[in-house]
Every structure is written in C-alpha cells, then in structure tokens.
Homo-oligomer: A and B are copies of this chain.
C-alpha cells in the first residue's frame, strides 16, 4: 500500500502531461526488441536505439516492438514526437501507479494493464504495469522490467502455422492480454491453495498466528479485487465499443476474454466470502477454547474445594468433637471423599465436560 501512495505523492504538483517516470526503477538498462512477421516471414531483433525502430511503425508487416524499462525519459520523448502522441498518453504509461485503462485516440489505442506475480520471497503480490499502443500495423509495448508472461505468445508467433501469423495485429494484442489474464488465473490458483491450507489448519489447530495470516491474505484479496475490477471494466469496454485498428473478427475472442475476467472476478469474490467465514470460525474457536479452559478450571475447583473443606473440618481443634476419637473415622472419612469425588466425576461426565 505504502508503495502505491509513495507514487501518488511523487506526482503531486507536476504539470499534467509531464514525462516523469513514477515508480521504482526496476530495469537497469532499457532493452528494445522487435518481432516483425507476416504469414511468410519472421524477423526477431534487438536494438540499442529507439530511432532504429521507427521504420517498423510504417511497415506493412505486423511488428511487435517491446521496451523493457521506463526510466530513459529521452527515449519516450522521441516516441511521442515520432508517433505524435497526446501529452497525457505517455504520462500514463510512465506512471506505474495507474489503474488499468483503455483510451482511444484518432489512429491508435492505449491499453494499460497490470501483470501480477506472486513474490515468494517477500510473500506478497507483485504488480508490474504493461502498456500497449496499438497502431495500424504495430504494437508498441512497455514493461517496467525484463521478464514477462509472454513467452508462450512468442513461441506461437514463431510457429508459421499458428493463428497469430494468419490474423491481423489486433489478434496479437488479444493474445498478449490473454497471457496476462492467464497470469491472474495462476495467482488466484496459488491464493486458493493458501486459503485451503489455512482452512485446514484453522479447523485442526487454530493457532494465534493464523489471525494475522487471515488479515494479510484478506488485504491481498482486497487489492487484487480492485485491480481485477478495473481490468474487467477495461475488457468490457474493449468488447462493447468500436475502436481503431480492432477488426470485427476479434469480437468473439474479446467476449471470451471478458468471460475469463468474470471468472477471475467470481473466484476472488468467493475467496473474499470464504475468508470472512474463516474469521468467524477463528472467533468461534477462541470462544470454544475459552470454554475448554473454563471447564478444566471448574472441574478442579468443584472437586477439590469441597474436599478441602471436608479436610478442614477435622483439622479443627474443638475439644468436644466425638468423630475424632472414633476408631473407623479416618477410613470412613476417605470413603466420604471418594463418594464426593465420584459424584462430581459422574455429574461432569453427564454434562459432557469430561
């Protein structure tokens, strides 16, 4: 949370449209790679300078230009100038505190999404912003750092018989977004495993640490939910309106994408209700344990306090206590003790406290 807010603070007081990278510098150097393909040919290249990439914007073949790293502000100014982009567009791309967003411009489309991965070392969800500019024959994508969830997509591009090679550039956009939503499936599947573990632990042995675990997973689910909520609305817009460079053939695929986000949303909502239920169970188990403790105390007290009294009676020093000199007094006294104890045990057994 504090990271999100940190980003907000950094933005305050800036002129709208200022190109400033808001976020942690996650990539050491900016890497530019291009995959250019049509049905027949495929070229994959890496470049040092953005200027070398500009010709791809104007080719007839489909080009996917990917840029890892958002801190080289000069590079982004050059792109803005070359493609004549709106001042706010590039600001949004560089501001990694952005929520998922879809914005249509005259001849291109801006789509900003979040890639999510589970960070095992710090035990939290990592968000990485991915932005796409869809032009007529190119996709320009921006990532915060190297490494992504698009490897499957690249392999499919390399396969000359894949549907990507046969269809227009908008199908590539769909494939990339689909890969991102798959990363949500992976994450909620992990979350689901964790929740199930916690549920079992909760019923078997409700320790105190589990409360803070529940609280943390609840927060993760809350943040995830907000994020997926906006994702859903972005995909829904993509699905329902006409956008430049999106062909009508893509509609069926986009509807499928929308169905998938709904399913992610549903699962997260269900998780949320299950987690709420876990808190109730935890509270009940606390009450239950308190009951157990109280019963142990009550059993001990109810058995031994009367006995102590009975022992106290014959510890008195009255001169005239006839029982004291009776021969069988002491064994009879023990008998009484045993009868009292037995009666108590029977009573508590009947009450199911023992």
Residues of A within 8 A of B (CB): 1-2, 4-6, 8-9, 11-17, 86-88, 92, 97, 99, 101, 103, 152, 156, 162-163, 174-175, 178-179, 182-183, 185-186, 188-189, 192-193, 195-196, 203, 208, 211-212, 215, 218-219, 222-223, 226, 252-253, 255-256, 259, 262-263, 266-267, 269-270, 273-274, 277, 279-291, 293-298, 300-302, 304-309, 311-321, 323-325, 327, 329-330, 333, 353
Contacts and interface: CB of A to CB of B under 8 A. Distances in A.
Given A222-B270, A226-B269, 15 more contacts: A2-B193, A5-B189, A8-B188, A11-B182, A14-B152, A208-B288, A215-B281, A280-B283, A284-B286, A289-B291, A294-B297, A305-B308, A318-B329, A319-B329, A321-B330
Contacts of A333: 316, 318
Given A12-B186, A316-B315, A297 B296 contact: no
A185 B304 contact: no
B282 A284 contact: yes
A2 B192 CA distance: 7
Copies in the complex: 5
A87 B192 contact: no
B291 A293 contact: yes
Contacts of A284: 211, 279, 282-283, 286
A109 to B, nearest CB: 14
Contact of A296 (B183, B302, B330): B302
Given A287-B286, A307-B309, A99 B262 contact: yes
A283 to B, nearest CB: 6
Q: Top 8 nearest A-B pairs by Cβ distance?
A: A311-B312, A314-B316, A5-B189, A297-B298, A315-B315, A13-B152, A8-B185, A12-B182
Contact of A222 (B99, B274, B330): B274
Contacts of A291: 286, 289-290, 293
A302 B304 CA distance: 9
B101 A259 contact: yes
B320 A317 contact: no
A17 B171 CA distance: 13
Contacts of A189: 5-6, 8-9
12 contacts: A6-B189, A9-B185, A9-B186, A12-B182, A12-B185, A219-B274, A287-B290, A297-B297, A297-B301, A297-B302, A300-B306, A321-B330
